A and B are shown apart, each in its own frame.
Chain A
Amino acid sequence: MKILLWILFSVIIFSVTGCSENDKTVNLGPGVKNDSLTNNAVVNSIAYAGSALLGEGVDVDEISKRYNENGLLELQVKGHNNSQFTKRFWYRPEWIDADGMTISSRTSTWLPVSVTGKSKYNFKVVAPTTKAVDVKIDTKKWE
């Protein structure tokens, strides 16, 4: 009996460690990678329901700024989707000059982002003029 329990325990440990992702370069989504104890039709449907119940959404992980070769401010936003569902949203940059005044620009328009469940996303905005020294990003839900 003890041997049977040990075998069962070993199988569970092997299954769980076998699905750990060492390399994050490729994100294998549900239905793409092999089924495992933590990734199968039953667990996934519970995870989707839980995600919807918790109202999970998108997070921002990293914001990087730099000036490109033309002296234009560039801002890159990297983040991830906590939700199991694809999240779509709009973002709009608002450029600000050295005096804190808003710079009117066609590039300050709503632009779309779409990120699949449990995936990473990134987008980059480029200032419309060298006068821009700062930027604020606004977002809204994609209806």
Chain B
Amino acid sequence: MKSKLLCIIFLTLAVCLSGCEESVRIDTVNDEAKDVVDLDYRDFDLVAGQMTQSMLASGILKNNPVVSTGQILNLTTRRIDTPALIAKIEEEIINSGLASVTSAVGGRGSVDSMVHDIREVRESDYADEFKEGTIAGKGNLIAPSYNISGRIFHREVEFYNQKTQYEYYFQLMVTDISSGLRVWQKEVLVGKRG
């Protein structure tokens, strides 16, 4: 009887203690935590920061061009949310005031379907439900002059001491849509061993 009671108390304590495992909020401004082998937010911030710096320094964003975001291929075996990465770069392009980003055309995650949905309403039977002149008219969309595309790939190399070297390559390019010429390109390598 006594041993059963002790066992129950022990189990209750064990469940309580494991349930009370402390979680810590990450200091995303000055994160002192050690690096991880996989890609984390610090890597994406670093890549977005370096890409944006390079793009702004290149001088391609002249005369307020309209920029679209095309396909960013994820050729790694990791699940990488490429729209999330490109969103950081789009944010900087918009905030720079040097260019505009279009939501009318583009790759996954960069198109706002409402731009097209509202145009379908214009031709539908219930178009007259909307106040006249408030539905976007024809010929208002602005086509992009530049397109951002890119790819992410990674390599794993056996390192000495039973460690593996992980190399993540982020490649972005900007193409002048009218001429088809590539006006900017950058590769950022994030390398880790573990």
Q: Please report A residues at the B interface, Cβ cutoff 8 Å.
A: 68-70, 72, 74, 105-112, 124-131, 140, 143
Contact = CB atoms under 8 A, between A and B. Distances in A.
Interface stretch (B48-56, B100-108, B131-139, B171-179): B48-56
Q: Chain B: interface residue count, which band? A: 20 to 34
Given A105-B92, A130-B97, A69 B46 contact: no
A106 B48 contact: yes
Contacts, number: 63
Contacts of B112: none
A129 to B, nearest CB: 5
A140 B31 CA distance: 11
Interface of A (DSSP majority class): loop
A128 B57 contact: no
Given A128-B95, A128-B96, A107 B59 contact: no
B88 interface: yes
Contact of A125 (B53, B62, B91, B97): B53
Contacts of A127: 56
Contacts of B98: 70, 72, 129-130
B45 interface: yes
Nearest to A132: B96
A128 B52 contact: yes
A82 B45 CA distance: 30
B61 interface: yes
Contact of B95 (A68, A105, A124, A143): A105
Most B CB contacts (10 A, CB to CB) among A109, A111, A130 go to A109
A140 B57 CA distance: 24
B96 A129 contact: yes
Contacts of A126: 53, 56-57
A111 B49 contact: yes
Contacts of A109: 45-46, 48-49
B95 A70 contact: no
Contacts of A129: 95-98
Given A126-B57, A128-B95, A106 B62 contact: no
A25 B50 CA distance: 27
B56 A128 contact: yes
B62 A69 contact: yes
